Amino acid sequence: MKRTPGPRSITDQLALGLIEGVLTVLGLIVLVFPLALWAVPQHGPLANTVFYIVLSIGSGSLTGLIALAYLKSILFPRQSSDAAPMSGKARLQAYQNWEQTQEDAQRVKRQLRSLKGGALHNLGYMARIATLIATVVSCLYLGTWAMMDFYYGSTEIMSSEARYQLLHPDSWDWRK
């Protein structure tokens, strides 16, 4: 929602948000409507039905878009700057209010910058931790594989009988 001058109640803000949301959806439908109308099949048993359904949805969206825009302008008129204060005290008060608004905007900007910096720091920290864990797991797996390959022998080089003889040495030569 856009920042609006003057205080608004929660109900007004909800209504304005709902109207703007529906306006957005209807606007998207109106934008896609010509493409959807062009994509309707030209032949077949349901061609006319689909054409009229798409045509009615597009026309209804356009009508709803216009009606909701008009309703929004009636319910929430724009504040015009023609009613600017003319007396000295009123101008001073308006300037002080403007100055306070600028300070508030700068404070919010600093908070967002610090929040963004904190999020980037946390993201970098998580990436470093994930890299460390991946490195440790890779080293463990590689070390385990190397140990198993050295101790039990490679499956590509040794046959199963040779690996069995390596694991279970027959010191008395009973198998022969």
Render pLDDT for 93-128 as a digit per residue (tens, 0 to 9).
887 888 888 888 888 887 777 777 777 778 888 889
Range of the domain at 166: 126-176
Provide CB contacts within 8 A for 47, sequence distance 6+: 40, 41
The DSSP output letter for 81 is G
- Whether the pTM exceeds 0.75: the reply is no
- Look at residue 61 and tell me if it is in a domain: yes
- Look at residue 25 and tell me if it is in a domain: yes
Q: Indicate the number of domains in the chain.
A: 2
- Look at residue 112 and tell me if it is in a domain: no
Would the pLDDT of 32 be above 60?
yes
- Look at residue 136 and tell me if it is in a domain: yes
- Give CA–CA dist 72/15, Å, rounded: 9
- Look at residue 65 and tell me if it is in a domain: yes
- Look at residue 86 and tell me if it is in a domain: no
pLDDT at 39: 80
pLDDT at 1: 44
Would the pLDDT of 156 be above 80?
no
Would the pLDDT of 28 be above 80?
yes
